Amino acid sequence: MTRRATQVFGSATAFLVRTRGNAWVDVALLAALGGAVFGLTRLAQEWTGALRPVFEIDLSPWALPGYAFLSLSRGLAAYALSLLFTLAYGYWAARDRVAEKVLIPALDILQSIPVLGFMPGLVLALVAAFPRSNTGLELASVIMIFTGQAWNMTFSFYHSLRSVPHDFQEVATLGRFGWWQRFRWVEMPSAAIGLVWNSMMSMAGGWFFLMVSEAFVLGDRSFQLPGLGSYMSVAVARGDRGAMVAAVAAMTLMIVALDQLFWRPVVVWAQKFRMDESGQAPEMRSWFLELLRGSRLVPWLARGARAAARRVERRRRKRRGAAVRPKASGRGLGVLSAAAFVGLVVLLAFGSLGLVRLLVRVPAAGWHGLGVASLLTLGRVLLATAIGTLWTVPVGLAIGLSPRLSRVLQPIVQVVASFPAPMLFPAVVALLAAAGMGLGWGSILLMLLGTQWYILFNVMAGAMSIPADLREAARIYRVGTWQRFRILYLPAVFPFLVTGWVTAAGGAWNASIVAEYVSFKGRELSADGLGSRISTAAARGDFPLLAAAIVVMAVMVVLFNRLVWRRLHHVAEERFSLAR
């Protein structure tokens, strides 16, 4: 009797609790929606506002949320652009065997061009295109961030599409899936997890360029966009310590919020696209996703969207007749692809022609100087990577091998890794100046600031993936600490270390542009190197030299990738992979 009562009341109260919870979630969601609409109107005002090369930045902490919102909107707009680019370019490259032969090498080259090298030309062109409004400058900033985000996402998507299991393809063929069904049911799900992880990485990398692209000097013109980056640079220029700390805090908060409210839920949701069959993968949770799942609004909207999609599909099918004819649409796509391919080749040809015209104007002495400078920067990049490795390997191992430490520290390292290093440059430069260290060595420290985290992160991941039985074997046979390093830990994390090196070195090359040439308290500090050559050429408006410097850097990066990293990667796969 009592049991029945509790059952009845139990379910009744549960019902109450659930509705109350739902209502709160939905109210919050509606409020957020309202906020987003308000924000978008503000954004529209900002974009269409008159071009003000130097913006009056308000250093009061109350202005920070507004600036953070503007910066966030740029990051998200760039991400949306990257995603669109990734889907289109990756799909095209994976589906069209001829285009693939041009698209993939082109992507490889694009990836190795220093992002910051794009900036001057891009800004001047876009500002010229929109002389009256802020649109040009905003677009330039978004595209800059895009160039820092898109490539690795595209590579990941392309590789996922190319490695969809053969069986899955055969089922789709036998089921006569149209291209859209194949994309939605087979290809997109297969690529989802890789795309999500790379998106997270890209977004983190994007903040680096956001900071730089919001405030900079080109020739005699200085450009500024209202945002966290410009707030910070004004705070530094005025020496306002409080504002600097507030800006760093706002940036951190923004990264954490984006992680908790956006990436975390997406990562957890994407777990349903896991390929491995075992059910024992560590369960991942997101409080925000659970909250959303308690909402009534979201499923209601989703149902509506699904019904609408079905209606559209049915209408389309009626128009085309009942039978599905994939052949016809296939031919249409083929024509489209061929046209786009020709367009791309023409564009590439024009681009290279223009580049050659610029490059022939560089005197021999200029090339010689660039050669010397590139060796200097190469040395700095390697030193930064080496120093980064020296401290991150023991620390990363210590964290990764201890489940307790890694649980606590992994999210923190993740936030630190996403934090844009250029924001901290002024503080570090001040310390360097106080210690009497020049930028020649100091720039190594600045590079390190942004790139060491990639190595640390990868070493941690490697340490966590060492199988328990290998560690137990080392313990049972009483292998000493040093020997354990040599025979177990280092080989096991080596493949991860290589991945970390590739990312860190790529980041260091990019960072050299801002690290070898720093404005500090109205003075320009610089150290000779390829990065500072790019910066000074941009500042002086010397476009032939700028183009030459960028080409040299791209060549250095490509050569280094081919000759060193790729070989190390091969060794790692052949000898140290634990996957087999």
Chain contacts with other proteins (rule: CB under 8 A): 165, 167-168, 170-171, 173-178, 181, 185-186, 189, 192, 272-279, 310, 317, 322-324, 574
Q: Could you list the beta-strand ranges (E) of 83-242.
A: 215-218, 221-224
The nearest distance, CB 501 to other proteins, in angstroms, is: 22
Residue 316 vs 357, nearer CB to other proteins: 316
Based on CB atoms, which residue is closest to other proteins, 407 or 570?
570
- Taking residue 281's Cβ as centre, other Cβ atoms within 10 Å add up to 9
Rounded CA separation 154/577 (Å)? 25
Q: How many C-beta neighbours within 10 Å does residue 25 have?
A: 18
* Smaller CB separation from other proteins, 279 or 480: 279
Nearer to other proteins, 56 or 276 (CB): 276
Q: Would you say 312 or 356 has its CB closer to other proteins?
A: 312
> What is the DSSP code string of 161-206?
HHTS-HHHHHHHHHTT--HHHHIIIIIHHHHHHHHHHHHHHHHHHH
| Nearest approach, Cβ of residue 167 and other proteins (Å) | 4
CA angle 531, 535, 539 (to 5 degrees): 170
Q: Which two tokens stand for residue 75?
A: 């990051």
State how far the Cα of 569 lies from the Cα of 530, in Å rounded to an integer.
Answer: 26
Query: DSSP assignment, residue 467?
Result: -
Find the shortest distance in angstroms from Cβ 323 to other proteins: 7
Minimal distance in Å, beta carbon 262 to other proteins? Answer: 21
Q: How many CB atoms lie within 10 A of CB 551?
A: 17
Rounded Cα distance between 242 and 392, Å, is 31
Minimum distance between the CB of residue 189 and other proteins, rounded to whole angstroms?
A: 4
Closest CA to 535 of 388, 422, 420: 422
Closer to other proteins by CB, 128 or 323: give it.
323
**CB-wise, 272 or 478, nearer to other proteins?**
272
Q: Which residues contact 364 (CB under 8 A, 6 or more apart)?
A: none
Amino acid 110 reads: L
Least Å distance between CB 461 and other proteins?
23
Q: What tokens were used for 389?
A: 């490795």
Pick 274 or 361: Cβ nearer other proteins: 274
- Cα–chain center distance at 7: 51
